[in-house]
């Protein structure tokens, strides 16, 4: 196994700093939280769960046998769904209330 290899594995554990994966070659690796997604990761469980089969890229195999993996390289960030909102009032409340606020300000001697 070397850097750049693409492997399948199963998520065996999740910690706040990353997800542990048992690779198809019976080695274990870690997907650090920074390699889960390009965007902000509030919770790793938003992307993977224990038992999920994942495809990962090998980033590094250390001399100590530790394997660093990337999930985000093969699983691009999910696009957020945007909701089309039509504003019905816009700045009308502000436009309507501004003269009253100014009048109230002057009545109170410049104090709100």
The domain limits of the chain are 6-70
Q: Where does the pLDDT of residue 1 fall: very low under 50, low under 70, confident under 90, or very high at 90 and above?
A: confident
The answer to whether 111 touches 104, Cβ cutoff 8 Å, is no
CA 14 to chain centroid: 15
Of 6-10, 24-28, 76-80, 107-111, the poorest mean pLDDT is in 76-80
pLDDT over threshold 80, residue 76: no
Going by pLDDT thresholds of 50, 70 and 90, the confidence category of residue 25 is confident
CA distance 100 to 103: 5
The pLDDT tens digits for 33-63 are 999 998 888 899 999 999 999 999 999 998 8
State residue 13's pLDDT score: 95
What homologous superfamily does CATH list for 6-70? Nucleic acid-binding proteins (2.40.50.140)
The better pLDDT of the pair 75, 57 is held by: 57
What are residue 68's phi and psi, to 5 degrees?
A: -100, 130
Quick check: 85 pLDDT over 70? no
């Amino acid at each position: 196994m070397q850097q750049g290899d693409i492997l399948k594995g199963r998520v065996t554990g999740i910690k706040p700093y990353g997800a542990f994966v048992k690779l198809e070659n019976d080695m274990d690796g870690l997907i650090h939280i920074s390699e889960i997604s390009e965007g902000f990761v509030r919770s790793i469980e938003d992307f993977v769960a224990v038992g999920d089969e994942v495809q990962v890229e090998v980033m590094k195999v250390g001399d100590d046998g530790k394997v660093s993996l990337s999930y985000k390289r093969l699983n691009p960030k999910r696009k957020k769904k945007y909701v089309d909102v039509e504003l019905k009032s816009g700045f009308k409340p502000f436009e309507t209330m501004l003269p009253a606020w100014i009048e109230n300000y002057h009545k109170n001697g410049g104090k709100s």
